Amino acid sequence: MLQTSEEGKNGVEELRFVINAIEELGLASANLEVDVTLARGLNYYTGAIFEVSAPKGVQMGSIGGGGRYDDLTGIFGLKDVSGVGISFGLDRIYLVLEELGLFKIVDLPKPKVIFLNFDASTDGLKMKALKSLRENNIKSEFYPDLAESNKAQKRQWKYVTNREIEFVVSEVENDSFILKNMISGEQTNCSLTELVDILKK
C-alpha cells in the first residue's frame, strides 16, 4: 500500500528497525503488537504512535499512549524541536492493579504508632509528640481527618487494623498520652518522655 510513497517506505523501514531490535533484545515484561489501524492525535503526531494496554483478560482500554512529533513544542514558543512523548492514565492503572489484586502483594511502609484524630483541641500536643518521636527515628503518623461521629471514629480504628499498626495513641488528657498496644491489648497512660521510651524499645 505504501510502496509508491517515499515517506511511507521510510516509515516501514523505521518500523522494521523497531521490530528487529525488540526481537533481538527481547522484552522482559511486555509484548509488542503492531497495529497499522491505530490512530491518535492526528493534529500533532507526525510519526509513529503507540499505546500501552493492560494485560489480556483485564477489561480496560489503553493505560498510556503517545507518539512522535516534529514541532509540537512550537505552540509553547520552542520552535523546531522534535521528540517523542508519552502519558499514562493513573486512574486506569490503579483500576488495573486493583482488578489483578496486585495491591495485596505490595508491602507498604507503616508507622510504629499512629495518633487518632478524635479531638482537635489536643492537636498541638500531638504534633509536639510526633516531632519528638520522629527526632528519635520512630515512624509515626497522625490520622488526617477529624472524627466528628462514631462512624468516623470506627473508620480510624479500622484503618489501624487494616494496616496492622502496633501502637495507637487514642486520646491526650492533661499532657498524658493514652497509648494502646494493639497486639497485647495493654493500655498505658504516659508522659511524652515515657511515650518515646516505650516506643524506642
Instruction: Please report whether residue 125 resides in a domain.
Output: yes
End position of a domain, from candidates 82, 104, 126: 104
On whether both 138 and 180 belong to a single domain, the answer is yes
On whether both 67 and 121 belong to a single domain, the answer is no
| pLDDT surpasses 80 at 160 | yes
DSSP-H helix ranges across the chain: 6-25, 90-99, 123-135, 150-163, 192-200
Helix/strand/coil for 184: coil
CA distance 189 to 109: 27
On whether both 185 and 119 belong to a single domain, the answer is yes
pLDDT in tens, 61-107: 899 999 988 888 888 888 888 889 999 999 999 999 988 888 877 67
Instruction: Please report whether residue 190 resides in a domain.
Output: yes
For 155, the domain range is 113-200
Instruction: Please report whether residue 85 resides in a domain.
Output: yes
Give the residue carrying C-alpha cell 509484548: 31
pTM for this entry: 0.52
Three-state SS annotation for 121-174:
HHHHHHHHHHHHHHHCCCCEEECCCCCCCHHHHHHHHHHHHHHCCCEEEEEEEC
Number of domains into which the chain is organized: 2
Q: How many percent of the chain have pLDDT more than 90?
A: 57
On whether both 146 and 188 belong to a single domain, the answer is yes
Kindly tell me the sign of the dihedral angle through the C-alpha atoms of 21, 24, 29, 32.
Answer: positive
